[in-house]
Amino acid sequence: MIVKNNDFLFLLTGVVLAGLAALALGSPDANVGLYSVAGLLGIVLVLAIIIKPNFGANVLIIAIFTNVSAQLTDYGYPGIVKPLVVIVFSAIMVRNYYAGQLPNDRKTTSVIEMFLIMYFIVVTASYLVASNKSRALNEILELGKNLVIIYTILFSLREWTTWKQAVWIIILTTAVLSLLGVYQIAAHNYSQEFFRFSTVEIQGVFDNDNSSTARIGGPVHDPNYWAQILVSVIPLVIFRIIHEPHAKTKFFNIGVAVILLFVLLNTYSRGAYLALLVVIFLTFFVLEKKINPFVTIVGIGLIIFVIPLLPQSYTARFQSLTALTPVSTNGGGVYQDGSLQGRSSVMLTALSMFADNPLLGVGAGNFKNNYQKYNQILGIEFEYGERDAHSLYTQVLSETGILGSITFLGILISLMSALSKSLKSIKDLPDYKIYGPWIRSLQLSIVGYLVASTFLHNDYLRYFWILVALSITVIQLVDEQFNYRERASSLYESPF
């Protein structure tokens, strides 16, 4: 019997699966059994992705949004995201070898991809000037992993339905995780952390107040970052409420929005509150669907009515944002708030680092170990030890210099510009106009994340890269469909 290459691959896979199953069942060593089961599941996953590529993208999105690697390491197990990225990407490459999975023409996304590669090169080059080489290397590897994730999602989601499914998975995963936080607040059961998938931090959030407040930290174990993620998901839900044609799905999304907003309030993150206000304000400018004026008036009336009824802790947290207003600032408002004073200190320290190292900065991941040196010179805040940058933009500026800032801004500008062009192109595709609101919601999702990033550094930037991946993918899908329509139109008009 002659065995074909395809048959040989599946025959070999069957032998390996059988061997791993035998090890898992027969070995008295628990570790051997555990790793055999992991290998077995890995091979099954590869086969599933080869058959259905979008499954790989969905698994990655769930793994990242649940932050499952951190939960596993907290219990002494190895993280799974990095090996998962390798498995999914490898499976996609195998799929492409046999069935042709990769997009052929990526002219529309080429500028974004160019800036992504340039940014990676600059971050890598900053290793040369970094005083802490291991931190710089970790940042380089993390960015490299995220770039692989971007291309994995791009290569996996090759149809509109699978792309939309990935967005729904983000919404549903975030909603389920938020429900855990709702239970914790409602039951006042903060010790129940659901295997670290929903953590709670008991902190003092108000100056001159010794009381402690429960802040929902979600699966990332940090209230501010969890709030940032919630703000980036809320626009996706808002646009489903407005544009969803089915009443049941619309009401379902209203329920999801209520859950996300409740948990967002209970993070007590002022940066996220501000980002949410920006997102809601911008929503009215990008809506193409007219909203009933009566509904608008009732909605505004409900907001005005509900705000005074909110618990004092929420309203006090909102009111503390007035420290950022010009009137308050002239009176020293920022420096009367301990948290804002600390953030202004690290931001000015970052600018000082950039002034001394304008080309490549102090090195990726090296803000922490340079903080004390520059903070002592400024003398704004007397803190010992290391501190984070507390702003993505000043962090990029201080750690990678002007080159890193230009390339990073290039990613943002080219991405938003390409999404806007896709919205214009989709107007000429009658069968795909329904995807316009999905694209607009993704734009606002990115805006929400970036506004919140003004007050947060890059610890969980992987969530942003997922949004970038979905953006590049939808840009590619629109471009392919538009080019197909153009070719079909030219063939129809040709006399030959």
> 440-496 pLDDT, tens per residue?
999 999 999 999 999 999 999 999 999 999 999 999 999 988 877 766 666 555 554
- 3-state secondary structure string, 134-198? HHHHHHHHHHHHHHHHHHHHHHHCCCHHHHHHHHHHHHHHHHHHHHHHHHHHHHCCCCCCCCCCC
CA distances from 311 to 265, 304, 306, 314, 341 (A): 10, 14, 10, 6, 26
- Tell whether pTM > 0.75: yes
| HSE-up of residue 271 (Cα within 13 Å, Cβ side) | 25
Cα separation of 237 and 371, whole Å?
Answer: 39
pLDDT reported for residue 19: 47
Cα separation of 399 and 405, whole Å?
Answer: 9
Asked whether residue 35 carries a pLDDT value surpassing 60, the answer given is no
- The helix or strand, by DSSP H or E, that contains position 36, with its residue range, turns out to be helix 30-51
pLDDT reported for residue 8: 46
Residue 128 near residue 360, CB atoms below 8 Å: yes
pLDDT reported for residue 261: 92
Residue 214, SS3? strand
pLDDT reported for residue 225: 97
pLDDT reported for residue 144: 96
pLDDT reported for residue 28: 54
Confidence band for 2, pLDDT divided at 50, 70 and 90? very low
H-type helices in 209-330, by residue range?
223-243, 247-265, 270-286, 293-306, 312-319, 326-330
More confident residue, 42 or 242: 242
Share of the chain above pLDDT 90, in %: 51
Give the mean model confidence (pLDDT) for residues 383-410.
92
More confident residue, 42 or 32: 42
Give the mean model confidence (pLDDT) for residues 206-210.
60
Give every CB contact of residue 470 below 8 A, 6+ residues apart in sequence. Answer: 153, 157, 163, 166, 167, 442
Cα separation of 219 and 178, whole Å?
Answer: 9
H helix count then E strand count, the chain: 20, 2
Give every CB contact of residue 23 below 8 A, 6+ residues apart in sequence. Answer: 32, 33, 36
Residue 217, SS3? strand
Cα separation of 408 and 459, whole Å?
Answer: 16
Residue 203, SS3? strand
Phi-psi region of 361 (alpha: psi -120 to 50; beta: other; left: phi over 0): left
Nearest-5° Cα angle at 118, 358 to 456: 60
Q: Model confidence over 318-334: pLDDT tens digits?
A: 555 555 555 544 444 44
| HSE-up of residue 431 (Cα within 13 Å, Cβ side) | 5
Task: For the chain, give the longest Cα–Cα distance.
Answer: 88
Among 58, 268, 25, smallest CA distance to 156 is for: 58
pLDDT reported for residue 6: 46
Residue 326, SS3? helix
CA 108, 113, 118, 123 dihedral sign is positive
Residue 439 near residue 422, CB atoms below 8 Å: yes
Average pLDDT over the chain, rounded to an integer: 82
Asked whether residue 24 carries a pLDDT value surpassing 50, the answer given is no
pLDDT reported for residue 337: 52
Residue 306, SS3? helix
End-to-end CA distance of the chain: 50
Give the mean model confidence (pLDDT) for residues 382-397.
85
Give the mean model confidence (pLDDT) for residues 280-292.
74
pLDDT reported for residue 181: 96
